[in-house]
Chains A and B, each alone.
Chain A
Amino acid sequence: MPLVKNGHIATDVFFHAADGTELPGDGAVLVSAARFLEDPEALLKRGKVGVIWPNNRDLDDLVPYLERLALVALVFPSFRDGRAYTQARLLRERHGFEGELRATGQVLRDQFVFMLRAGFDAFDVRKQADADAFGEAARRYTVFYQPTGDGHLSALHRRNQLRHSESAKP
């Protein structure tokens, strides 16, 4: 499954350590929420850590560790299940998470724009063709009606700016 990070196909530096398996000697690891919460301090001490956070679990248990986490992976068990969009926005916009925010699960081309707007910057893309088309899909829209934390101005705010720039003209 190709990983797209910051708009480009990238190599995954995180070793995905399944529950009950041994951790590698060193290097970045990605673990489940359950495994992480068993002994977060020990994991965080050994280096870069990423956590796969389920979409039906409250973020409260994760928030205390956000500053020290390199990666949070949120889950789309099906592309129909949109709970992780809310989690992503809360992590970015409310809790100030600045690490990698990765979309995993059923991640398809037609969700990229929504995911980018919600704050994801990395994508475990299901199909190679979708990963190849990432740039095109991400640039499809230039107008957005809602303010989110992705930096795009909403149409309402752009109109407001236009108004001010027009009224400033001599």
Chain B
Amino acid sequence: MYAYDELDRTLLNERVSEFRDQVKRRLSGELTEDEFKILRLQNGVYLQLHAYMFRVAIPYGTLSSKQLRQLAHVARRYDRGYGHFTTRQNIQYNWIKLSELPDALADLAEVGIHAMQTSGNNTRNVTSDQWAGVAPGEVDDPRIWSELLRQYTTLHPEFSFLPRKFKIAITASAHDRAAIKIHDIGLRLYKNDEGELGFEVLVGGGLGRTPFIAKTIKQFVHRRDILSYVEAIMRVYNQYGRRDNIYKARIKILVHELGIDKFAREVDEEWQHIRDSALAVEDAAIEEIRSRFTYPKYEKLPHMPDELKQAAHDPLFERWRRNSVFTHKAQGYSIVTISLKPIGAPPGDATAEQMDALADIADRYSFGEIRVGHEQNLALPHVAKRDLPALWKALDRIGLATPNVNLVSDIIACPGLDYCSLANARSIPIAQELTRRFANHDTANLIGRLHINISGCINACGHHHVGHIGILGVEKNGEEFYQITIGGRADEQAQMGTLIGPAVPYGEVADVVEDIVEAYLALRDSQEELFVDTVKRLGVEPFKERVYATR
């Protein structure tokens, strides 16, 4: 957990006061809607179909119980009693009133939470691995570096009016849970052959209507140089990124048009001018940031406590444990993922009551800490294994013990046409229907790991390109149709899915997904072969045949 110091607090309060003044000027008519639009976007406020939507940042996905209670308070006081966790470690409120926004921001600022740059053409919330600091085998806690980048990118005087939005993600594990290859800049923290800590820097990843997997621009950037190198990338982008066409304005297009080698040369030339500037990161500055993170004092606990042995006789507990509990770096502790995908409900939503109750649970079982992952689930990062049975019961009481993490009903979906003014088609009802189709846990378990991603339009907020099964809503003659892709993935082996054939109407999507899953069950070479591996082995043809043979 990063604790703000006086400087962080001061800046945040200054920002809240500035936004209060901006809202006042808008309400008085001093600012036109066109002028105000960019100012509200810089503070995470969108105008949606029915109301203003307010997006709050959860930097690198780390929350204290106190912060989670404040998110619940905002949901209750200023919204309709719930919030929606997104794929980029943000929470969204869908029914906020403009006149009350400054107060909501001030309440959030009390606990060190903000909405700066959660939308607009600037650097967005810096995201990271939701298991940062607790995953076994990490080279360092990536949140330290995420916080360095958070500070560096916040209210940057040169890069607050970029050609388009700009997203940075950081991982420090061999297994990438932060989806760095679909970010504008992806940073992989590792030690080089000399044992020096630094970054592999990737650039130009992104989804949307022109999806690209990020390319490595530099194999190793020393930690001391990371800010100057990022500044060099952003400076080249700010000058040469296209501004004539919103759909060609992301850095991925610039990288694609110049080619990675030429782009890398431009960046390197710029970098040589600034690498020894005040941007050089001294180790002391990193240690200062590190010292503001608190880490639990773990007890020496047994690997297999009696409580766990006893609970293993309960099949309901066991099926939850098998899907939700993951290995922790400290013996006797676990990381617990909390599914926000109950059967029949919108993915990623949590009520104020659930958030409050979860904050209490985190105090009791997870050193007061909660994490938010890009899969739209939450996690408790430090649960003693002996507490798992009690935790499971406590979660079950508040509807947060759905045993479907990583299974077919653990669906990532954007808000879609139910909320979003950009959408062409609904996403949430598709997700809800799919969770009902696969509600039988034994079936879901038999299917195994399978990620379904749904986007209601080409902007791809549901990351459909990188879903094992991707579902993209399009509009055809005024009706909702859906394109289906298979074989995508967002991890260290990231790749785009392949289209299996013509789009299908709204009413047939769940049937098609069932057909694909049945085909997989018939085609896999063993129960261990995951869906995505079967697709890789056989290609899309056999799935296509199955789906379109009868249609």
Contacts and interface: CB of A to CB of B under 8 A. Distances in A.
Contacts of B151: 145, 155-156
Given A85-B238, A86-B158, A159-B288, 16 more contacts: A79-B35, A83-B243, A86-B239, A89-B158, A114-B155, A114-B158, A143-B11, A144-B11, A147-B277, A154-B278, A155-B7, A155-B8, A159-B5, A159-B285, A160-B285, A163-B288
A85 B14 contact: no
Interface string B141-169: 00000000001101111111110000000
Given A143-B10, A146-B152, A110 B22 contact: yes
Nearest to A59: B239
Given A79-B161, A148-B157, A156 B121 contact: no
A85 B122 CA distance: 13
Contacts of A23: none
Interface residues of A, number: 34
Nearest to B237: A86
B7 A143 contact: yes
Contact of A114 (B17, B38, B160, B282): B160
A141 B11 contact: yes
Contact of B284 (A108, A118, A160): A160
B38 A146 contact: no
Interface in A106-160: 108, 110, 113-115, 117-118, 129, 140-148, 154-160
B288 A142 contact: no
Interface residues of B, number: 38
B22 A114 contact: no
Interface in B154-193: 154-162
Interface of B: 5, 7-8, 10-11, 14, 17-18, 22, 30, 35, 38-39, 121, 151-152, 154-162, 235, 238-239, 243, 273, 277-279, 281-282, 284-285, 288
A85 B158 CA distance: 5
A43 to B, nearest CB: 27
A113 B79 CA distance: 32
B288 A160 contact: yes
A82 interface: yes
Nearest to B13: A143
A80 interface: yes
Interface in A59-85: 79-83, 85
A146 B278 CA distance: 9
A168 B35 CA distance: 49
A147 B38 contact: no
Contact of A156 (B161, B277, B285): B285
Contact of B157 (A79, A113, A140, A158): A113
Contacts of A81: 161, 243
Contacts of B10: 142-143
A81 B38 CA distance: 11
Sorted from nearest, which 8 A-B pairs have the closest CB atoms? A82-B161, A117-B157, A147-B278, A143-B11, A114-B157, A145-B151, A85-B158, A155-B7
Question: Which of B38, B157, B235, B238 has the most chain A CB atoms closer than 10 A to its own CB?
Answer: B157
B50 to A, nearest CB: 26
Contacts of A140: 14, 17-18
B161 A80 contact: yes
A158 B160 contact: no
19 contacts: A81-B161, A82-B159, A82-B162, A83-B243, A85-B157, A85-B160, A94-B273, A110-B22, A110-B39, A113-B155, A114-B155, A118-B158, A142-B10, A143-B7, A144-B155, A145-B152, A155-B8, A155-B11, A159-B288
Given A80-B38, A81-B161, A118-B157, A147 B279 contact: yes
A109 to B, nearest CB: 8
Contacts of A85: 157-161, 238
Nearest to B281: A156
Contact of A160 (B5, B11, B239, B282): B282
A116 B244 CA distance: 27
Contacts of B39: 110
A140 B238 CA distance: 26
Contact of B160 (A82, A141, A145, A155): A82
Question: Which of A82, A148, A157, A160 has the most chain B CB atoms closer than 10 A to its own CB?
Answer: A82
B372 to A, nearest CB: 23
A115 B14 CA distance: 17
A143 B161 CA distance: 20
A82 B160 CA distance: 7
A110 B25 CA distance: 11
Nearest to B284: A160
A79 B161 CA distance: 8
A144 B8 CA distance: 9
Nearest to A82: B161
